[in-house]
Amino acid sequence: SVKYFERVKIEVEAKLPEITEGLPKPLVDAVKALRAAFNDINNLDFVSAVIKCRSAMEYITKREKRDGRDTKVIKDEVKGAILSRYEGAAKGVYEDVLETLEVTIRDIYEMMSKFIHPDSDKVKFNPRMVDAVYVFRQTVDIINYLVELSRA
């Protein structure tokens, strides 16, 4: 019997910002990483896609001691660009919104770490297409949200 493999073309929608001018550098770098991750998904390289999504998260976050533990939080440069656009009650709301988003970021980051070792690019478990696409979409949504908030 003849065995053959047909390359599958996957259509993944990616609404990434076209224009990154005027954005804080961490967001610009995150968008670049996501463009590369998008190409990886289309080339069926799911490991590399997850690594690049993680890089996008690394660009916009830093580690901070909270309750004696290292915790991922949004970088001051990104937070500052967003919060500088608001005053009074609105600023307070967005401070809370960003803290909530940090929890989401930590959750997605933890999910990525199930596939790729957190301190290296070593594969712990091979992500499938569905895993890579999910991680990609979640990361795109987070980055897009931060981009939109920083332009508001």
Per-residue pLDDT of the chain (152 residues; tens, 9 = 90+): 655 555 555 566 778 888 888 999 999 999 999 999 999 998 999 999 999 999 999 999 999 998 889 899 999 999 999 999 999 999 999 999 999 999 999 999 999 999 999 888 999 999 999 999 999 999 999 999 999 999 87
Tell me whether strands 69-74 and 61-66 are parallel, antiparallel or unpaired.
antiparallel
- For residue 98, count other CB atoms closer than 10 A to its CB: 19
Residue 142 DSSP label: H
Q: How confident is the model at residue 10, as a pLDDT?
A: 58
Contacts 24+ apart (CB under 8 A), 17-26: 17/144, 17/147, 20/147, 22/151, 23/81, 23/147, 23/150, 23/151, 24/75, 24/77, 24/78, 24/80, 24/81, 24/150, 25/77, 26/59, 26/60, 26/75, 26/77, 26/78
Please give the single-letter amino acid code of residue 73: V
Please give the single-letter amino acid code of residue 122: K
